[in-house]
Amino acid sequence: MSTSELEHEHEGEQCACCCGHEHEHEHKHEHEHEHHHEHRHDHDHGHDECCCGHEHDHEHEHCGGDSCGCGHEHHHHGSGGLKTAVIRLAAAAVLFAASYLLPEGLPRRLFLLLPYLIAGYDVLWGALRNIVHGHIFDENFLMAVATVGAVALGDMSEAVAVMVFYQLGALFEEYAVGRSRGSIKALMDLRPDRAELERDGEVVSVAPEEVAPGSVIVVRPGERVPIDGVILEGESTLDTSALTGESLPRPCAAGDEISSGCVSLTGLLRIRTTKPFGESAVSRILKLAEESSARKSRSEKFITRFARIYTPVVCAAALLLALLPPLFRLAQGLDAEWVRYIENALTFLVISCPCALVISVPLGFFGGMGGASTRGVLLKGSTGIEALAETRCVVFDKTGTLTRGEFEVIGERPETGVTRERLLELAALAESWSNHPISRSLVEAAGSPDAKSRVTDAHEEQGGGVSAVVDGLHVSAGNRRYMAKLGIDCTDPEDAGTVVHVAAEGTYLGCILLADAPKANSKAAIEAVEALGAHTVMLTGDSEKAAALAAKTLGIDEYRAGLLPGGKVEALEELLKSTDGKVAFVGDGVNDAPVLARADVGVAMGALGSDAAIEAADVVIMDDDPAKLPLAIRLSRRCMRIVRFNIAFAIGVKFAFLVLGALGIVGMSLAIFADVGVMVLAVLNSMRTLRVKHL
- Active-site residue list: 397
Reported as type and span, the H/E element at residue 653 is: helix 628-662
> 3-state class of 504 per DSSP?
strand
CA dist 526 → 184, 336, 396, 519, 626 (Å): 28, 71, 10, 12, 8
Amino acid, single-letter form, for residue 244 = T
CB 180 within 8 A of CB 65: no
The contacts of residue 11 (CB under 8 Å, 6+ apart) are: 22, 481
Residue from 336, 376, 344, 319 nearest 606 by CA: 376
Whole-angstrom distance between the N-terminal and C-terminal Cα of the chain?
28
CA dist 683 → 61, 441, 581 (Å): 16, 54, 29
DSSP letter at 399 equals B
Residue 517 has, within 13 A of its CA and on its CB side, a CA count of: 13
Residue from 111, 60, 122 nearest 89 by CA: 122
Tell me the angle at which helices 139-152 and 298-331 cross, rounded to the nearest 10 degrees. 30
> 3-state class of 217 per DSSP?
strand
How far apart are alpha carbons 304 and 325 in whole angstroms? 32
The contacts of residue 151 (CB under 8 Å, 6+ apart) are: 116, 159
How far apart are alpha carbons 254 and 693 in whole angstroms? 35
Strands, E assignment, 441-557 = 455-461, 465-470, 473-478, 498-504, 507-518, 535-539
